[in-house]
A and B are shown apart, each in its own frame.
Chain A
Amino acid sequence: MTTQPLVSVSALTKKFGKNEVLKGIDFTIEPGTVTAIIGPSGSGKTTILRSLNALDVATTGQITIGDVTLDFSQKVGRRDITALRAKSGMVFQAHGLFGHLDVLQNITVGPIVGQKRNRKEVEAEAIELLNLVGLSDKVRARIHELSGGQQQRVGIARALALKPDLLLLDEPTSALDPELVGEVLRAIRNLADAGWTLVIVTHEMQFAKQVADQVLFIDHGLIVERGTAAEVLESPKHPRTREFLARILGDF
């Protein structure tokens, strides 16, 4: 049985001025799977994620998510960008929560104001989501009263409240104190178990090994190696992948 991929990216390039950050990226994502994007800093992995959410608008190439396809060789309008952006939820490295709103308002402002959905319904869903990420006792807390790990989990709930087709996580634990990493990874793992399609840029190799169905190793704007977690992380074929893994796994 073959399934239709949820995401397909082909020949994607992105230039910032003269600097070509992505040099032709191709991959697909099956629904309900977890894709981990790994690679050295500056390799372009975050740009891939931001392109999927149209925070960075690609220079050429194509992105399809569900029923939305954008061809970046042609002119892409604001409406196209909004349509693509609505397909995915984004979780940032530094949570990017709204400091003047409480936890519940952070989660509901998008659905209520942006999507014009019914407040009661959205709030009920938001409370369920807070339950899912283990923060049901923080509904009315202010953002600055939360720990970094709690803030990151609010960020996840906020992204999920938009009912996206997939969730993009940009190094969700890199800005956290080590003792707070576990709780966020657990929350992400729960999402994977619940069947969410996830794309996560991460340096947590153990986590990627356990949770990812697919791993992309990016270097210098290209996918150097792509495969299952076991293939890429345990028996990498490409010397650059081996070198990177040796470095990041602390093999000094």
Chain B
Amino acid sequence: MGSPLSWSLIHDSLLPLLEALLTGTIPLTLIAFTLGLALAIFLALARISKIWPLRWIAAIYISIFRGTPLLVQLFIIFYGLPAIGILFDPWTSAIIGFSLNVAAYAAESIRGAILSVPKAQWEAASTVGLSHTQTLVRIILPQAARVAIPPLSNTLISLVKDTSLASTVLVTEIFRKAQEIAAPTFEFFTLYGLAAVYYWVVSQTLTILQQLLEKKLSKQVAR
């Protein structure tokens, strides 16, 4: 029995895994998060809308996507939908699945953040002649953003790690790459351990970015 780690394999795997991180995991995360966030803003607004059907649709959506496993959602999109004639390639399936899922979680964070802006801000905005939409875009959302950053950062960091599930719908991201290299060599400990280190580095980087952003925005306290 030698060391459980194979140093030469680590050396040889560093670059292929990095490549999979940069061409798979990170773009998948960024695209899904951006689309999910855009959808989440609409869902959050629908949840606090005066129009009850909008509130209901948003509530049902959020309930479904938070109430079922992400893995199941991905499988339905990639393996299930072809049964009714809807076919997506692996990347499209993954982007759809992650975006829809992340939107449900982010929507609740954004809704809470919007409600945390004092009501007096709405009144003040209306007295200076801003419409409802102008108030939302110019006054409320910028201030809500500050409140939403910690929970949204959490969602983003979870998403980075959750993208490993894309391996199950045949997307070549870092975890799938690790599986591919590990399979013929049986060096599972080495490869999965290395993948874990990469995930940790990305998550840690995002945590630091979050702290910097929070520091910057905390200088603009709303009262």
A residues apposed to B, CB below 8 Å: 53, 55, 82, 85-86, 89-90, 92, 94, 96-100, 109-111, 113-115, 142-144, 158-159, 161-162
Min CB distance B33 to A, Å, is 23
Let me know if B220 and A142 touch, CB within 8 A.
Answer: yes
Residue of A nearest to B142 (CB): A100
Chain A residues in 8 Å Cβ range of B220: 99-100, 142, 144
Let me know if B223 and A115 touch, CB within 8 A.
Answer: no
Instruction: In the A-B complex, list the 6 residue pairs whose CB atoms are closest, starting with the nearest.
Output: A110-B128, A114-B129, A99-B222, A96-B124, A90-B127, A100-B220
State the total of A-B contacts with C-beta under 8 angstroms. 70
Min CB distance B92 to A, Å, is 37
Let me know if B121 and A142 touch, CB within 8 A.
Answer: no
Chain B residues in 8 Å Cβ range of A94: 120, 223
Question: Interface residues of B, CB < 8 Å — how many?
Answer: 22
Interface stretch, picked from B22-30, B46-54, B130-138, B171-179, is: B130-138
Let me know if B123 and A114 touch, CB within 8 A.
Answer: no
Min CB distance B212 to A, Å, is 18
Chain B residues in 8 Å Cβ range of A161: 128
B residues apposed to A, CB below 8 Å: 120-121, 123-131, 134, 138-139, 142-143, 146, 219-223
Let me know if A143 and B223 touch, CB within 8 A.
Answer: yes
Given contacts A99-B222, A142-B219, contact A85 B126 (CB under 8 A): yes
The 5 listed contacts between A and B (C-beta, < 8 Å) are A94-B120, A99-B223, A114-B130, A115-B129, A162-B128
Let me know if A96 and B123 touch, CB within 8 A.
Answer: yes
Let me know if A114 and B134 touch, CB within 8 A.
Answer: yes
Min CB distance A130 to B, Å, is 16
Bound together, the chains give a CA A111 to CA B130 distance in angstroms of: 9
Let me know if B129 and A162 touch, CB within 8 A.
Answer: yes
Let me know if B127 and A89 touch, CB within 8 A.
Answer: yes
Min CB distance A204 to B, Å, is 22
Let me know if A109 and B143 touch, CB within 8 A.
Answer: no
Bound together, the chains give a CA A111 to CA B120 distance in angstroms of: 19
Given contacts A85-B127, A92-B124, A114-B130, contact A99 B138 (CB under 8 A): no
Bound together, the chains give a CA A20 to CA B131 distance in angstroms of: 29
Min CB distance B213 to A, Å, is 14
Given contacts A99-B143, A144-B221, contact A113 B134 (CB under 8 A): yes
Known: A98-B139, A100-B139. 4 other contacts (CB 8 A): A86-B129, A99-B222, A114-B130, A144-B219
Bound together, the chains give a CA A94 to CA B220 distance in angstroms of: 17
Let me know if A53 and B219 touch, CB within 8 A.
Answer: no
Min CB distance B147 to A, Å, is 12
Chain A residues in 8 Å Cβ range of B221: 99, 144
8 Å CB contact of B129 from A55, A96, A99, A110? A110
Chain A residues in 8 Å Cβ range of B143: 98-100
Chain B residues in 8 Å Cβ range of A159: 127-128
Bound together, the chains give a CA A142 to CA B220 distance in angstroms of: 7
Bound together, the chains give a CA A55 to CA B125 distance in angstroms of: 11
Let me know if B124 and A98 touch, CB within 8 A.
Answer: yes
Bound together, the chains give a CA A114 to CA B126 distance in angstroms of: 9
Bound together, the chains give a CA A70 to CA B136 distance in angstroms of: 27
Min CB distance B136 to A, Å, is 12
Let me know if B124 and A97 touch, CB within 8 A.
Answer: yes
Let me know if A109 and B123 touch, CB within 8 A.
Answer: no
Bound together, the chains give a CA A11 to CA B47 distance in angstroms of: 39
Bound together, the chains give a CA A162 to CA B129 distance in angstroms of: 8
Min CB distance B119 to A, Å, is 10
Let me know if B222 and A113 touch, CB within 8 A.
Answer: no
Chain B residues in 8 Å Cβ range of A53: 127
Min CB distance A229 to B, Å, is 27
8 Å CB contact of B120 from A85, A92, A144, A158? A92
Chain B residues in 8 Å Cβ range of A82: 129
Let me know if A158 and B128 touch, CB within 8 A.
Answer: yes
Bound together, the chains give a CA A109 to CA B129 distance in angstroms of: 9
Residue of B nearest to A93 (CB): B120
Chain B residues in 8 Å Cβ range of A97: 124, 223
8 Å CB contact of A55 from B127, B130, B138? B127
Bound together, the chains give a CA A92 to CA B139 distance in angstroms of: 17
8 Å CB contact of A109 from B126, B130, B131, B223? B130
Min CB distance B144 to A, Å, is 10
